[in-house]
Amino acid sequence: MPGSDVEARRAAIDAIPVRPASAAAPALAFPWPEPHRAAMFLSFDVDAESAWTGGNPAHADRLVTMSYGGYEARVGTPKLLELLDRLGLTATFFITGWTVDAYPAMAESILEAGHEIGHHGYHHLLPDPGSPFIVEEVERGLDALKRRLGVVPKGYRAPSGEFCEELRALLVRHGFLYSSSFRDDVRPYRHVLADGAAGTIELPVTASYDDWVLGLSTRVSPRPILSREQVLSIWTDELDEIRDWGAMVTTVLHPQCSGRPMRMRLLREFLLYAQGCGDVWIATGAEIAGRFARFEASGPR
Ligand SMILES: [Zn+2]
């Protein structure tokens, strides 16, 4: 390594702050609505083709790669809406602005079925620190949701699972109630901005409930698809332990994955299991964050 590279690396290392990355207070202890002792934030990310073009715009001309996203409007989303209707469940769908503009009828069908619509960027661009697109992604996404659906979203989920301080402050300026992107808790908590001001509420996620990593295999990321038995054991083990802890789980499900036949069969089985527990509050992000906010406002106990 040339001397100047070593110097640059040294300067970058010396700039790492020696303190926790999050200044958030410990998660507030408050009860779930009776008779529940745990919660499930049932959420879906509707990316369509923007899941592929967000990381690499050249995929727009790769028609088989794009067809993974195209499955959502043609099959995956209608089938998931049918399933939720049959089970009497209401969920949150985080939708990219691109998807709302490209597939307005699909987006309207989600809204008309009574589900919550959340913000998921416009082109599904990774909100990496220093990205020149952070403000534009949030504002164009807001515009698409308002223009096409008349929705002002309460919730935000970061595309591709990254976040930065600029985005954290931006969400507060735009009046978001909650984010659902971080991995550092099993209960809702309140973000703290770099200047000490209050941020949004966080509804944390975990890789255990991200169907993308459990069941999506493509030419650009080939990997084994996990079986029903493997996924169900991950999902039920996590849920059962969380029930003992009195905490919450968050699903991160994609119609281009969980809308596939065997994936939907296993999702149906898991949701029936969760409903059968009798003590899991299966709710939208707005419901869970709203409950947190009410307990937070009621002061220290
Ligand atoms: Zn996504």
Q: What is the tens place of the pLDDT at every residue in 243-288?
A: 999 999 999 999 999 999 999 999 999 999 999 999 999 999 999 9
Q: Is a pLDDT exceeding 80 seen at residue 115?
A: yes
If you measure from the C-alpha of residue 123 to the centroid of ligand 1, how many angstroms do you get, rounded to a whole number? 10
Ligand 1 center to 71 CA (angstroms): 15
Asked whether the beta carbons of 89 and 42 are under 8 A apart, the reply is yes
Task: Count Cβ atoms below 10 Å from residue 16 Cβ, excluding itself.
Answer: 7
Environment class of 294 (CB within 10 Å of its CB; exposed 0-12, middle 13-18, buried 19+): exposed
Mean pLDDT score, 201-210: 96
Residue 1: band (very low, low, confident or very high) from pLDDT cuts 50, 70, 90: low
Q: Are 287 and 20 in contact (CB under 8 A)?
A: no
Domains of the chain in start order, with CATH, are 33-297 (3.20.20.370)
pLDDT higher than 60, residue 100: yes
Distance 134 CA to ligand 1 centre (A): 15
Q: For the chain, what percent of residues have pLDDT higher than 90? A: 92
Interval between CA 11 and ligand 1 midpoint (Å): 34
pLDDT band at 232; cut points 50, 70, 90: very high
How many angstroms separate the CA atoms of 115 and 109, rounded?
A: 9
Q: How far is the CA of 118 from the centre of ligand 1 (A)?
A: 11
Q: What is the pLDDT of residues 119-153, one digit of tens each?
A: 999 999 999 999 999 999 999 999 999 999 999 99
Beta bridge partners of 62: none
What band does 300 get if pLDDT is binned at 50, 70 and 90? low
Q: Which amino acid is at 71?
A: Y
pLDDT at site 255: 98
CA distance 294 to 208: 29
Residue 191 has pLDDT above 80, yes or no: yes
Confidence of residue 3 (pLDDT cuts 50, 70, 90): confident
Nearest CA among 81, 77, 92, 55 for reference residue 203: 92
Using alpha carbons, select from 137, 84, 140, 72 the residue that is nearest to residue 112.
Answer: 84
Give pTM, 2 decimals: 0.96
Coil, strand or helix at 293: helix
Q: How far is the CA of 286 from the centre of ligand 1 (A)?
A: 19
24: left (phi over 0), alpha (psi -120 to 50) or beta: beta
CB 281 within 8 A of CB 38: yes
Give me ligand 1 centre to Cα 128, in Å.
14
**301 has a pLDDT exceeding 70:** no
Ligand 1 centre distance from Cα of residue 255 (Å): 11
Q: How far is the CA of 159 from the centre of ligand 1 (A)?
A: 5
CA distance 107 to 117: 9
